[in-house]
Chains A and B, each alone.
Chain A
């Protein structure tokens, strides 16, 4: 290691890491970038398109070049910025985007072919043969041009999320942010101070300037100690605020364990949703470079970054050779002075401005420009053009200082347009950005330390006043107040390539080409050249690109356009955005009251929305699901079957106007329903289409229980609430869902009455006392409160028995036990489906939002004697004239399969849309019929009984001849369910 004096690293501890398999040393406090430089490593990667050797450019999250793959195996993370990776013992990093070793990348041949790879090359070149794109061109291009590769292994780490609320969020803990947080903290506001760095201080950490005559760290530590002592202040380091969303919501990612070898039991990252009444944006500024010929060699860095490495991390720019500075402002001179103070030899300061003076003991080349560089894998020398001619300087590194761009990103998130500030030659936050977000310090164009401190206090005072709080008097330390005096020198014209966007390999020539191709709006420029895309989002490139474009168009920069930003400010991992769980707990699931019973009794489960329902129960010897389902169906038809139907929605409706309310909600009449009876009900959408069906049970004069389909339990309840609160607020109605409260079990089959009679506590189940469509509260099993409904989905004599959910499990077991001699059989959703298709009952496949009551054969239920939601609209011409009707289908050849989704055609008719006569909605094998059967909507279906038509399945190239039959395959007279 080659360390300078000072710095904020812990030299008492040495930690080890590897880069491309080679072992190096660093200290706590280092980033991977600073440690690599301290070990003399300048070459860290290859460029995106041309595979040019690249080195570290910056010292923060704006880094465009030093993207590495961090960690190994499933934890390998590509495109990690070495400047943001905190060093830990055992860190493993690899360079990216090369074939063969980093110093001999075989794909560097791309650089020789660069004349062919200009912007727009792909769009123009790989046009034919068209079929080659997917198989040949795209894979080859992706292999040649790209960043890191995913491990493609499941992420082994955990992520979580959290919610924070604050009066004031301070984004950035540099001088402006610290002053703002301290003022607000002392005023008693609830403050969150967030910074993406692992230390507080921001740019102060990178500078040698004193505060009140002492090192800045003393002031930072004092402020930190006070903030930590305030219960109303929360400090979040390693936390990037990546976006501003509506209503003062800020997205943040805290890198909880990224600085550790593994997270252990903790999460890797936390996604915070911060709700802040006000926010101070103290995000600082990013230095820009000045494009010149071959300005991308390892060793060429931003001058401010070079200064940061020297002051904070006690390392030079990875070379023992002298260093030069190329600048258009005074800040470049500051870097030269700081480097010299730390013992780094400075060969010269090349200042593009006229009439500048030396600020220290170094060689100054005024009115000079860097016009070329040499060195294959790292900088060896630079060519400088001065007023007296050209000169070559032997240097190992070059710092480039092109001025500072305020980090306006978050202020642009609500389409806030930055405005051009001619004084600082930079975009500063404009009006129209996120409400309540107050820029301060360098991100607002107030870049000197003194200005930033004062501006942070000003912003906090403003925010506090808006919150009704008074800012305390806050003495600020004496600080430097230099101005940079930046000159509008944006690039050095020349014939060789000069990079503007290092990450996307976009050069001044590419921008010129875009201009020539009329891609002049900045939005087109960006997409045509890919400038400003990928992980750095053009933080070091965008404004420079605008300036180059302005020069080409002969317009000013603000006339040329502005650059705005969308979230996220820096790359955010999908893992942390997803948060929570993967696998079984990826989303919540709902279990029926008999779930555990079903699991213990051979059930296979199926997802029905969030519910897990038993699909069928496999018995020993059954090798195919059809064996199980056929057995279950026949058991219901011959004896008695049991099915958990708890998932059907249940809504308790009470109130003096409950009857009127339901009469307006259902298309059919409900007012005439007697207490103790159930009625099948049809709900329509407001446009008249069928919406949902279910039952309505009247438990008392003013008390009903409405059931819905499983899928629509939520939406129907929501619609009922809407009707109650908004459509008819004058009605006295109270609603509440009871879906989960009652375990409901269908007891279906000719022996169902016999089975139930063994459980009820003296309740008369006779047909006379408890006829079809009756309902009653009762007790069972020695006093358990229950509700009994005599309703049937299967077409058999059937009941639904409801008990408090906690007893569902025991009830199922008891029914099985008590019904053993009756052949009691549990059945799942598959058998449920077969039974209802055999009976011709409509379900979700028929109620798909495009069908009407008339189509499903319930047209007469839509009452014309009253108004209800959708009734009038159902009579409009377009719906009333609908001729497709629900019919049954049976294959002419009994071994053929009826395929749901098939479309219906008259025999001999062309198989095209013009001759389409309907479609098959549901189909199943019917053990009762002995063949496959289906339900379908068929044109003029009522008058086509017995006709043989074609069911075409063009997706699979098959066709089946089917006979049109009534939709009731079982007991069309309905005698069984009334037995």
Chain B
């Protein structure tokens, strides 16, 4: 272990968490992230790869479709490890780039089912919720910031945003959740 102490994207030693009514927002620094792009003329890996607009969990990984032949791969709990090296073993011959520190993950959970999540999402992103059930993932701007939004479950979202703008993204999401709570 290096003798340096890391900071979370929101600038503190410990992740930030806030609850507004039924919604809880949690900064999640422990999730590792890597990009995976298949090279030309290499056989597809033995992974169940999701198609456009979808994410898929398999073999301890969560794969998020990001473009033709491209995925982001979540490695839960692996942020402190060399995620690219881990992934190379599973997908040899692919182009893999460590992305853990390029992004901030904010998990949003509802304690009252899908409704608060849907009300939150309709204020956060221009996403047709009729086509955004669990298993869906899409790239969407939120308050001018590029993000990936994952519908992890009826009552849970995961939002990946750029690390350097973590403070602005958190402010945007926190404000939306706070205002929904004030509306009752």
* Residues on A facing B (Cβ under 8 Å): 158, 160-165, 190, 256, 264-267, 273, 275, 580-581, 585, 587-593, 595-596, 610-611, 646, 652, 654-656, 732, 734, 736-743, 779-785, 804-811, 814
Chain A residues with CB under 8 Å of B97's CB are: 652, 654, 736, 738
The answer to whether B144 touches A588 (Cβ under 8 A) is: yes
Chain B residues 9 to 60 lying within 8 A of chain A, measured CB to CB, are 9, 11, 29, 35, 37, 39-41
Q: Say which residue of A581, A610, A811 sits within 8 Å of B4 (CB atoms).
A: A811
- Closest Cβ of chain B: how far from A637's Cβ, in Å? 29
For the complex, give the distance between the alpha carbons of A64 and B98 in Å.
Answer: 62
Interchain residue pairs with CB less than 8 A apart (7)? A588-B144, A588-B169, A646-B164, A740-B162, A781-B2, A784-B4, A805-B9
- Closest Cβ of chain B: how far from A763's Cβ, in Å? 14
- Closest Cβ of chain B: how far from A810's Cβ, in Å? 4
For the complex, give the distance between the alpha carbons of A808 and B99 in Å.
Answer: 15
The answer to whether B176 touches A741 (Cβ under 8 A) is: no
Interface majority SS on B: helix, strand, loop or mixed? mixed
Chain A residues with CB under 8 Å of B101's CB are: 740-743, 804-806
Given A590-B162, A591-B167, answer yes or no on A809-B102 (Cβ-Cβ < 8 Å). Answer: no
For the complex, give the distance between the alpha carbons of A833 and B179 in Å.
Answer: 44
The answer to whether A592 touches B164 (Cβ under 8 A) is: yes
For the complex, give the distance between the alpha carbons of A654 and B40 in Å.
Answer: 12
- Closest Cβ of chain A: how far from B110's Cβ, in Å? 17
The answer to whether A781 touches B102 (Cβ under 8 A) is: no
For the complex of A and B, 7 pairs with smallest distance between CB atoms: A265-B182, A784-B2, A741-B102, A588-B168, A734-B37, A654-B95, A806-B6
The answer to whether B128 touches A806 (Cβ under 8 A) is: no
Given A163-B126, A732-B41, A738-B102, answer yes or no on A807-B4 (Cβ-Cβ < 8 Å). Answer: yes
- Closest Cβ of chain A: how far from B40's Cβ, in Å? 4
Chain A residues with CB under 8 Å of B176's CB are: 160
For the complex, give the distance between the alpha carbons of A190 and B82 in Å.
Answer: 47
Residue of A164, A165, A596, A741 contacting most chain B CB atoms (<10 Å):
A741
Chain A residues with CB under 8 Å of B4's CB are: 781, 784, 807, 810-811, 814
Chain B residues with CB under 8 Å of A581's CB are: 171, 175
Chain B residues with CB under 8 Å of A738's CB are: 97-99, 102
The answer to whether B95 touches A164 (Cβ under 8 A) is: no
- Closest Cβ of chain B: how far from A304's Cβ, in Å? 36
Query: Closest chain A residue to B82 by CB distance?
Result: A785
The answer to whether A807 touches B179 (Cβ under 8 A) is: no
The answer to whether A783 touches B2 (Cβ under 8 A) is: yes
B103-144 interface code vs A (CB 8 A; 1 in, 0 out): 100000000000000000011011111100000000000011
- Closest Cβ of chain A: how far from B1's Cβ, in Å? 6
Chain B residues with CB under 8 Å of A590's CB are: 162, 164-165, 168
Q: Say which residue of A160, A266, A732, A742 sits within 8 Å of B40 (CB atoms).
A: A732
For the complex, give the distance between the alpha carbons of A811 and B172 in Å.
Answer: 29
Residue of B1, B3, B97, B178 contacting most chain A CB atoms (<10 Å):
B97
Chain A residues with CB under 8 Å of B167's CB are: 589, 591
Chain A residues with CB under 8 Å of B129's CB are: 165
Chain A residues with CB under 8 Å of B163's CB are: 740-741, 805
Chain B residues with CB under 8 Å of A587's CB are: 144
The answer to whether A161 touches B123 (Cβ under 8 A) is: yes
Chain B residues 141 to 184 lying within 8 A of chain A, measured CB to CB, are 143-145, 162-169, 171-172, 175-176, 178-179, 182-183
For the complex, give the distance between the alpha carbons of A948 and B178 in Å.
Answer: 65
The answer to whether A734 touches B95 (Cβ under 8 A) is: yes
Query: Closest chain A residue to B35 by CB distance?
Result: A736
For the complex, give the distance between the alpha carbons of A530 and B89 in Å.
Answer: 73
For the complex, give the distance between the alpha carbons of A646 and B6 in Å.
Answer: 16
Chain B residues with CB under 8 Å of A595's CB are: 11
Chain A residues with CB under 8 Å of B102's CB are: 737-741, 805
Given A160-B123, A162-B123, answer yes or no on A807-B2 (Cβ-Cβ < 8 Å). Answer: yes
Given A652-B97, A654-B97, A739-B102, answer yes or no on A165-B165 (Cβ-Cβ < 8 Å). Answer: no
The answer to whether A163 touches B122 (Cβ under 8 A) is: yes
The answer to whether B37 touches A588 (Cβ under 8 A) is: no
- Closest Cβ of chain B: how far from A40's Cβ, in Å? 38
Given A590-B164, A740-B163, A741-B99, answer yes or no on A807-B6 (Cβ-Cβ < 8 Å). Answer: yes
15 further contact pairs, Cβ within 8 A, besides A162-B122, A804-B101, A805-B102: A266-B179, A580-B143, A580-B172, A585-B171, A591-B11, A591-B165, A610-B165, A656-B39, A738-B102, A739-B102, A740-B103, A741-B101, A781-B2, A807-B6, A808-B7
Chain B residues 56 to 101 lying within 8 A of chain A, measured CB to CB, are 70, 82, 95, 97-101
The answer to whether A585 touches B168 (Cβ under 8 A) is: yes
Chain B residues with CB under 8 Å of A783's CB are: 1-2
The answer to whether A588 touches B95 (Cβ under 8 A) is: no
Chain A residues with CB under 8 Å of B125's CB are: 163
The answer to whether B100 touches A589 (Cβ under 8 A) is: no
Q: Say which residue of B5, B29, B145 sits within 8 Å of A588 (CB atoms).
A: B145
The answer to whether A164 touches B122 (Cβ under 8 A) is: yes
The answer to whether A810 touches B144 (Cβ under 8 A) is: no
- Closest Cβ of chain A: how far from B30's Cβ, in Å? 11
Chain B residues with CB under 8 Å of A780's CB are: 2
- Closest Cβ of chain B: how far from A396's Cβ, in Å? 45
For the complex, give the distance between the alpha carbons of A160 and B176 in Å.
Answer: 8
- Closest Cβ of chain B: how far from A5's Cβ, in Å? 37
The answer to whether B100 touches A736 (Cβ under 8 A) is: no
For the complex, give the distance between the alpha carbons of A625 and B178 in Å.
Answer: 41
Query: Closest chain A residue to B128 by CB distance?
Result: A165
- Closest Cβ of chain B: how far from A167's Cβ, in Å? 9
Query: Closest chain B residue to A257 by CB distance?
Result: B183
For the complex, give the distance between the alpha carbons of A805 and B102 in Å.
Answer: 7
For the complex, give the distance between the alpha carbons of A610 and B161 in Å.
Answer: 15
- Closest Cβ of chain B: how far from A856's Cβ, in Å? 29
For the complex, give the distance between the alpha carbons of A804 and B101 in Å.
Answer: 6
Chain B residues with CB under 8 Å of A165's CB are: 128-130
The answer to whether B126 touches A190 (Cβ under 8 A) is: no
Query: Closest chain B residue to A652 by CB distance?
Result: B97
- Closest Cβ of chain B: how far from A598's Cβ, in Å? 12
Q: Say which residue of B8, B29, B166, B179 sits within 8 Å of A160 (CB atoms).
A: B179
Given A165-B129, A585-B168, A590-B162, answer yes or no on A806-B2 (Cβ-Cβ < 8 Å). Answer: no
For the complex, give the distance between the alpha carbons of A781 and B5 in Å.
Answer: 11
The answer to whether A782 touches B165 (Cβ under 8 A) is: no
- Closest Cβ of chain A: how far from B93's Cβ, in Å? 10
- Closest Cβ of chain A: how far from B14's Cβ, in Å? 12
Chain B residues with CB under 8 Å of A592's CB are: 164
The answer to whether A656 touches B40 (Cβ under 8 A) is: yes
For the complex, give the distance between the alpha carbons of A695 and B161 in Å.
Answer: 26
- Closest Cβ of chain B: how far from A137's Cβ, in Å? 42
Given A158-B179, A585-B168, answer yes or no on A732-B3 (Cβ-Cβ < 8 Å). Answer: no
Chain A residues with CB under 8 Å of B178's CB are: 265
The answer to whether A267 touches B179 (Cβ under 8 A) is: yes
- Closest Cβ of chain A: how far from B16's Cβ, in Å? 14
The answer to whether B169 touches A782 (Cβ under 8 A) is: no
Given A740-B162, A740-B163, answer yes or no on A810-B5 (Cβ-Cβ < 8 Å). Answer: yes
Chain B residues with CB under 8 Å of A785's CB are: 82
- Closest Cβ of chain B: how far from A430's Cβ, in Å? 31
Chain A residues with CB under 8 Å of B98's CB are: 738, 741, 804
Given A265-B179, A656-B40, answer yes or no on A741-B100 (Cβ-Cβ < 8 Å). Answer: yes
For the complex, give the distance between the alpha carbons of A596 and B8 in Å.
Answer: 12
- Closest Cβ of chain B: how far from A583's Cβ, in Å? 11
For the complex, give the distance between the alpha carbons of A978 and B122 in Å.
Answer: 57
The answer to whether A275 touches B165 (Cβ under 8 A) is: no
Chain B residues with CB under 8 Å of A158's CB are: 179
Q: Say which residue of A190, A580, A589 sits within 8 Å of B130 (CB atoms).
A: A190
- Closest Cβ of chain A: how far from B160's Cβ, in Å? 11
The answer to whether A273 touches B126 (Cβ under 8 A) is: yes
For the complex, give the distance between the alpha carbons of A160 and B2 in Å.
Answer: 44
The answer to whether B1 touches A782 (Cβ under 8 A) is: yes
Chain A residues with CB under 8 Å of B183's CB are: 256, 266
Given A589-B165, A740-B164, A783-B1, answer yes or no on A734-B182 (Cβ-Cβ < 8 Å). Answer: no
Query: Closest chain A residue to B37 by CB distance?
Result: A734
